Structure 1
Amino acid sequence: MSENFFNKPFRFNAIFSGTGLQPTDLGKSISNHIELIIFTRYGEHRYRNDFGCEIWDLDFELIVSESLWEEKFRKSLLKSISDYEFRIDNIAVEVRITEVENVYPLRKITEIKKKVDITVRALIKTTGEKYFFNTALFLSPLST
């Protein structure tokens, strides 16, 4: 496996000007790859139909039970990370959904969004270091 890791997004103007791509460390490279897994829908990758996660299918699903939704998404994400991120081991994924309310008094609008907090804990195989990743996504907004 290559020891060179590059930051995303790629700045192609840097390549054409001769300065090359911006390097990054192993932890940031793993985080970039996990973000790519989260933001890719199943079937979107031309050669690997199972690359990605189920959040794009679950986004518009009526959430009857938040705990079932969280578990379904957690399992999907855990499988994809286990299958496609080979640099980490002992992977634990946590998913928590909450509601966030934004009130805009001047426009007399209340906006309610579902927020999904995603946490990944693991061990980096080559160094044995603990790895931690955390992000949040907002699902379909509901406005009144």
Structure 2
Amino acid sequence: MSGMLYPYYKLPLELEKIVGKKEVKKCSLKESIAHHLHLMLTTAFGELQSDAQFGNELWDEDFDNVSYRNKQKEKILLSLGKTIARFEKRIEKVKIEMRVQQEENASGRSDPGIKRKLEFTITAVISATNEPIVYRDGFFISPLAYN
């Protein structure tokens, strides 16, 4: 199954083009899966009004106080794994890794702040083609920022 048979739309969607019945940018199957995984990572439970089960437990954590001990990390990974299994049927044999990094925030102040960054690596196999896919994403959570 190639991307030609199934048109996948590039995010963010250009709603004005859809309403105006104009050509909308398309992407490959791998890019579509990556967009969907990004949405799952960055969405809290209850944020999507049409389905409160879309998202993950990461956003229930207190980013300023959390230390990401193994128990918390396992809880986040399990939550994300369940969401991927439920909402992304195009992949299988999913493996999720989460790494916590701390970086100094060189803001020019005498007291440099520490920024905590979560890095995710999701490896899987595309069900239709048995082709491997690797998706990497990361964002700073204290203070929150996407990179």
Shorter-chain TM-score range: 0.7 to 0.9
Query: 1:47 Cα deviation (Å)?
Result: 2.8
SS of the counterpart of 1:20?
Answer: coil
Report what 1:138 is aligned to: 140
Shift in CA distance, 65/31, structure 1 to aligned 2, threshold 3 Å: closer
Q: In the alignment, which of 8, 12, 19 is matched to residue 11 of structure 2? A: 8
Structure 2 matches for 1:21-60, cutoff 5 A?
Answer: 21-60=24-63
Q: Return the alpha-carbon distance in structure 2 between the equivalents of residues 83 and 18 of structure 1.
A: 31
SS of the counterpart of 1:139?
Answer: strand
Q: TM-score, length-normalised on structure 2?
A: 0.85
In the alignment, is the contact (CA less than 8 A) between 2:64 and 2:142 conserved in 1?
no
SS of the counterpart of 1:117?
Answer: strand
Q: Return the alpha-carbon distance in structure 2 between the equivalents of residues 29 and 117 of structure 1.
A: 20
Report what 2:113 is aligned to: 111
Q: Return the alpha-carbon distance in structure 2 between the equivalents of residues 47 and 18 of structure 1.
A: 25
Q: Return the alpha-carbon distance in structure 2 between the equivalents of residues 26 and 35 of structure 1.
A: 14
Aligned residue-pair number: 139
In the alignment, is the contact (CA less than 8 A) between 2:117 and 2:142 conserved in 1?
no
Report the aligned-residue RMSD: 1.9
Q: In the alignment, which of 63, 73, 78 is matched to residue 75 of structure 1? A: 78
Q: Which amino acid aligns with 1:41?
A: A
Structure 2 matches for 1:120-131, cutoff 5 A?
Answer: 120-131=122-133
In the alignment, is the contact (CA less than 8 A) between 2:121 and 2:136 conserved in 1?
yes
Shift in CA distance, 45/16, structure 1 to aligned 2, threshold 3 Å: closer
Query: 1:11 Cα deviation (Å)?
Result: 1.7
In the alignment, is the contact (CA less than 8 A) between 1:71 and 1:95 conserved in 2?
no
In the alignment, is the contact (CA less than 8 A) between 2:40 and 2:84 conserved in 1?
yes
Q: Which amino acid aligns with 1:116?
A: L
Q: Which amino acid aligns with 1:68?
A: K
82-91 vs 96-105, greater mean Cα deviation: 96-105
Structure 2 matches for 1:59-98, cutoff 5 A?
Answer: 59-60=62-63, 62-98=65-101
- For structure 1, the 5+ residue unaligned runs are none
Q: TM-score, length-normalised on structure 1?
A: 0.86
Runs of 4+ in 1 over 4 A off after TM superposition: none
SS of the counterpart of 2:95?
Answer: strand
Q: In the alignment, which of 103, 117, 140 is matched to residue 100 of structure 1? A: 103
Query: 1:85 Cα deviation (Å)?
Result: 0.2
